[in-house]
Amino acid sequence: MLDSMLGRTYDAQICSVAGTLELVGERWTLLIVRDAFMGARRFEDFQRRTGAARNVLANRLNTLVEDGIFRRVPYQEHPVRYEYRLTEKGLDLWPVIVALVQFGDRHIYPGRAPVLLMHKGCGGAMSDHRMCETCGAKLGPRDVEARRGIGGGMVASATA
């Protein structure tokens, strides 16, 4: 019976879902990516928002840089300190994060969405199809801001 169980890695599976899970399927990784979309840039921002242990966070950020999801950008010289910015590859995860938010809003927090995704251009709410409900614009990650919702969820970090 144990032979048919899914192992800890997906190396033997030639599947886009399995391959993506191998890259970002660990809990802290998706929370770090979520927070990057909500404006977190610095190690301290990610640590405060996720609550991840510093060694776990450092490991995940290094992996995300190695995998091309983030790039490091220095913001201080003495000592050298870095911000973590989403790359184009990282920005491609936005629909995944939005789908998880919308699933959670619908099935985990029905009627009390912790975070509202709003169009920066006109202030309209984002629809399930990533369109602005007010002006009809198709929305991408740079077009949307997170605002505290009914459930009092996280808001953009101070460095956004």
Nearest 5°: the CA angle 93, 94, 100 is: 95
pLDDT 10s digits, 109-138: 998 889 899 999 999 999 999 999 999 999
Q: Report yes or no on 153 lying in a domain.
A: no
Does a structural domain hold residue 159?
Answer: no
Is residue 75 in some structural domain?
A: yes
Of 62, 89, 116, the residue at which a domain comes to its end is: 89
Question: Is residue 32 located within the same domain as residue 79?
Answer: yes
Separation of alpha carbons 58 and 72, rounded Å: 12
* Euclidean distance between CA atoms 132 and 53, whole angstroms: 37
Q: Is 84 in the same domain as 101?
A: no
- Examine the pLDDT at 41 and tell me if it is beyond 80: yes
Q: What is the pLDDT of residue 4?
A: 43
Judge whether residue 155 has pLDDT over 60.
no
Question: Nearest-CA neighbor of 117 among 137, 143, 138?
Answer: 143
